[in-house]
């Protein structure tokens, strides 16, 4: 799955300058970078939520799924929220069990805690099937146990459906755990990319090394 090169500016300032990129199917690509590095913008443009400069979408003809950082809880119960994205009850039971959502299944989704909302949102997006699935910091507000369960689901989904999965994160540990490829963004520019194993242990560029050290990998 290939996305063409694009730029995105807000009020004249370019916040993201992305070259053409190949998102490999059946693998997890982690997009890593500090706050404001352009990660979320990348996600939104790829997902078609925001148009890039020049308005030509970088991806065409692909079914793209996107989980925003703060996913919206619709005014209905948790389980109905999840069922919005598919009627496969077997799959739904599996996801809810894995994320321990059963106790809050009947509760109004708006009344869920931050972590519970994040789990509901993840379960909801995983109900669908996409060619490219972009998850923007899906585990940011989850506890460790939930995070590990979520990561397992994400990996499973990727290998099961063969979709190209883009995981936006600032956790290098998380990238190490589940990413096949990594992609570093800094000030809106792609600084380094390649297989996770190689780059996370032995980056080619000095700035990536500093970033890795700073984030305690």
Partner 1 sequence: MGSSIRKAIELILTGDKELLNILATTARVSLTSSLIALLIGIPLGMLLGARRFPGRNALTVLNRTLMGMPPVVCGLLFYMLFSGVGPFRHLQLLFTVRLMIIAQVVLITPLVTCSMETFTADIALPLRETAKGLGFGPWKRFGLLVNECVYPIFSSYLLAFARAIAEVGAVSMVGGAIAWKTNVMTTAIMQYTNRGNFTLGIALGLILLTLSLLVNIVLSLMQRRLSR
- Contacts with partner 1 by CB under 8 A lie at 44, 47-49, 63-68, 70-72, 74-76, 84-85, 121, 124-125, 128, 130, 134
Distance of alpha carbon 98 from alpha carbon 205, whole angstroms = 39
Nearer to partner 1, 96 or 196 (CB): 96
Q: Tell me how far, at minimum, the Cβ of 84 lies from partner 1, in Å.
A: 7
Could you tell me the smallest distance in angstroms from the CB atom of residue 101 to partner 1?
17
- CA 49/CA 26 separation, integer angstroms: 24
Residue closer to partner 1, measured from CB, 24 or 49: 49
- Identity of the residue, 98 or 125, whose beta carbon is nearer to partner 1 in the bound complex: 125
Contacts of 73 (CB under 8 A, 6+ apart): 81, 109, 110, 112, 117, 120, 121
Residue 71 vs 208, nearer CB to partner 1: 71
Closest approach, Cβ 134 to partner 1, in A, equals 8
Distance set, CA 9 to CA 16, 18, 127, 136, 149 (Å): 7, 12, 33, 20, 37
């Amino acid at each position: 799955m290939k996305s063409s090169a694009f730029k995105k500016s807000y009020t004249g300032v370019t916040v993201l300058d992305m070259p053409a990129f190949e998102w490999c199917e059946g693998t997890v690509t982690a997009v890593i970078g500090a706050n404001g590095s352009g990660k979320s913008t990348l996600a939104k443009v790829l997902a078609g939520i925001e148009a890039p400069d020049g308005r030509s979408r970088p991806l065409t003809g692909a079914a793209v799924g996107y989980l925003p950082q703060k996913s919206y809880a619709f005014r209905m119960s948790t389980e109905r929220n999840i069922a919005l994205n598919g009627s496969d009850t077997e799959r739904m039971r599996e996801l809810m069990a894995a994320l321990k959502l059963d106790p809050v299944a009947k509760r109004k989704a708006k009344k869920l805690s931050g972590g519970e909302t994040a789990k509901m949102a993840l379960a909801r997006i995983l109900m669908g099937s996409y060619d490219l699935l972009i998850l923007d910091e899906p585990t940011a507000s989850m506890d460790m146990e939930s995070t590990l369960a979520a990561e397992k689901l994400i990996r499973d989904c990727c290998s099961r459906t063969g979709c190209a999965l883009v995981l936006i994160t600032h956790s290098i540990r998380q990238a190490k755990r589940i990413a096949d490829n990594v992609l570093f963004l800094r000030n809106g520019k792609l600084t380094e990319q390649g297989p996770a194993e190689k780059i996370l242990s032995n980056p080619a560029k000095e700035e990536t090394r500093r970033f890795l050290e700073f984030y305690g990998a």
